[in-house]
Structure 1
C-alpha cells in the first residue's frame, strides 16, 4: 500500500522541478556536520519554516533510517501509531523499515499499526522531501503520537533505544515540531527559549513541565520529549540550536507569529 501525500501543493510544491529548486535554496552547503542521534525540526509550510528545517538537515550527517516522531493534529487513529505504507512524495517514494517496526513490536505492544493516524496528518510528510534530498536511499519509521503518559514514554524510549543500539544501520530520531503558535514575536521568543533551553540540556521531563506550566503551544513537545528520553538513555548529552526563526519574517506580521527551532542532539 502507498500513503498518498496530502501536503504537497500547500505546504510544499507538488511539482518535482519546483520542489527541487526550493530545496536547493533551503538546504545550504555545509561541510561541518554533526553525527546526530536526534533532532527537533519544524513542519510548517516551507515558505515559513523551510529555512530552519533545511539548515538543520544540512548540519547533520545522513542516516540509513529516520525514526520520525510526529504529533497527531487530526485526532484520528491510535494514540501511538506506526505506518507500514510506502510514502509517496514528488521526490520519489520513501520506504518504511519493516525490520525496525518488527523489532519494536516484538518488544512492546504500545505502538499499533494504524494508517488512519497518518492519512490526513502533515507533520511527518513535510520532513520527507528534505530526507529524500539529503539521504535519498534512507528508510523511514513513521510514528504518530496523539497521547502518551510520561511513564509510558520512558518505557517506549527504552524499547526504541534498544532497537537502535542493536542495529548495524545508522539511525536517528527526528521529532517533528513547531514552537509557540500565534503570539507576538516577543512573547513567542520568550516562551520558545524556555523550551529550547530544556532541549539543549537534554531534559525531557523539564521540557514537558515548562511547556505545560507556561502554556507553550509547542505542538510536538511529546515527540520531542520522547526523542530526548531516547537520547538520555543512549548517552547523547549534547545539543545545538542550529537555527531559530518565526513566520513573521515571511508574513511581515510580528503580532501573530509561529516559532520554529532546529536543534540537533548528539553524543
Structure 2
C-alpha cells in the first residue's frame, strides 16, 4: 500500500533534482549533529518555512526510525489515525512504514486506529518527509494524524508511544508537525508564539495547552506537540531548545498578516 504525495510541486519541488537542490540549500552546514528524542518542525511551503525546517534537521541525527505526529487539517478520519503499512512516496523515493512498530503501538493504545482517510489529503507529515530522507536514506516511519484536542487522550497517546519506543525502538526520533500563529500581524504573532514557545522550552504540556486556549493561539499542531512532549518526557527528556523562529513576513514582506514557524529540539 503506497501513499502518494499530495504536496509535491506546490509545497516543495516536484522532481528529484530540484528537491535535492532545495534541501541542500536549506540544510545548514552544521558541524556536529546531536541525538534528539523529539523535535517540532513547521510544515508550510519550503519558501516560507524551509529555513526553520532545515535549521532543525541539520542539527540532529535522523535515526533509522522516526515517528511523525501531525495535525489534521481536513477533518477526515478517526481522531488518532495511523497509516498501517507499505510505503510513503516523495520525489526522493519510497520510505517504508515500520510495520512492526505500528503493530506494537496499536496493541499498546486503543485510541489509535488504522486509518488511511485522514492521511490521503493531509500535507503536514508529507512536507517533513524529504528532510528525513535527505538525512537518512534508510529511515522508516510511523505516521499518526491527530485531530483530538482532549489533553487526557493526548497524554495517553504520548505515554503509550513512549512506552513502546523504550522497549522496541529506543533510538527513535519523534517529530511533531506544527505551524504557529496564523494570519495575524507580526507583532501579535511574535507575542503569542513567544508565550507558547516558553511553555515548550519548559517542557510543560499543561502550560502549552492552557496558554494556547487563553491567548487563542492558532497553533495548528498543538495536539501533536503535546503528545510528543509527553512521549519525550516518558523517554527521559530533560531539555528543550528553540533553534529558530521566523514568520512568513520574512519571505513575503507583508507583516500585517503572517504565519509563525518555530523549530525546537527536545533531548
The question of a shared fold, defined as TM-score above 0.5 by the shorter chain, is answered with yes
Q: Which residue of 1 aligns with 2:228?
A: 227
Q: Which residue of 1 aligns with 2:171?
A: 170
Q: Which residue of 2 aligns with 1:44?
A: 44
Q: Which residue of 1 aligns with 2:24?
A: 24
CA shift in 2, pair 1:261/1:168, >3 Å: closer
CA contact (8 A) 2:242 2:264 kept: yes
Residue 126 of structure 1: SS of its match in structure 2?
A: coil
Q: How do 1:174-185 residues align onto structure 2 when only pairs under 5 Å count?
A: 174-185=175-186
For each residue in 1:133-179, what CA deviation from the matched residue of structure 2 results, as whole angstroms up to 9, or x when unmatched? 01111001000001142112222222111111002552011000000
For each residue in 1:211-251, what CA deviation from the matched residue of structure 2 results, as whole angstroms up to 9, or x when unmatched? 01100000000100111111222220201111110101111
CA contact (8 A) 1:247 1:259 kept: yes
What is the rounded CA distance, in whole Å, between the counterparts of 1:82 and 1:188 in structure 2? 31
Alignment of 1:128 with 2:129, yes or no, is yes
CA contact (8 A) 2:205 2:230 kept: yes
What is the rounded CA distance, in whole Å, between the counterparts of 1:51 and 1:126 in structure 2? 13
Deviation at 1:34, TM superposition (A): 2.3
What is the rounded CA distance, in whole Å, between the counterparts of 2:171 and 2:209 in structure 1? 28
What is the rounded CA distance, in whole Å, between the counterparts of 1:2 and 1:61 in structure 2? 26
Q: Which residue of 2 aligns with 1:213?
A: 214
CA contact (8 A) 1:202 1:231 kept: no
Q: Which residue of 2 aligns with 1:77?
A: 77
CA RMSD of aligned residues (A): 1.0
For each residue in 1:19-65, what CA deviation from the matched residue of structure 2 results, as whole angstroms up to 9, or x when unmatched? 11100000011122221100110000000000100110011112111
CA contact (8 A) 1:36 1:61 kept: yes
TM-score by length of 1: 0.97
Q: How many residues align?
A: 266
Q: Which residue of 2 aligns with 1:14?
A: 14
Structure 1's unaligned 5+ residue stretches are none
Structure 2's unaligned 5+ residue stretches are none
What is the rounded CA distance, in whole Å, between the counterparts of 1:108 and 1:128 in structure 2? 25
What is the rounded CA distance, in whole Å, between the counterparts of 1:51 and 1:108 in structure 2? 35
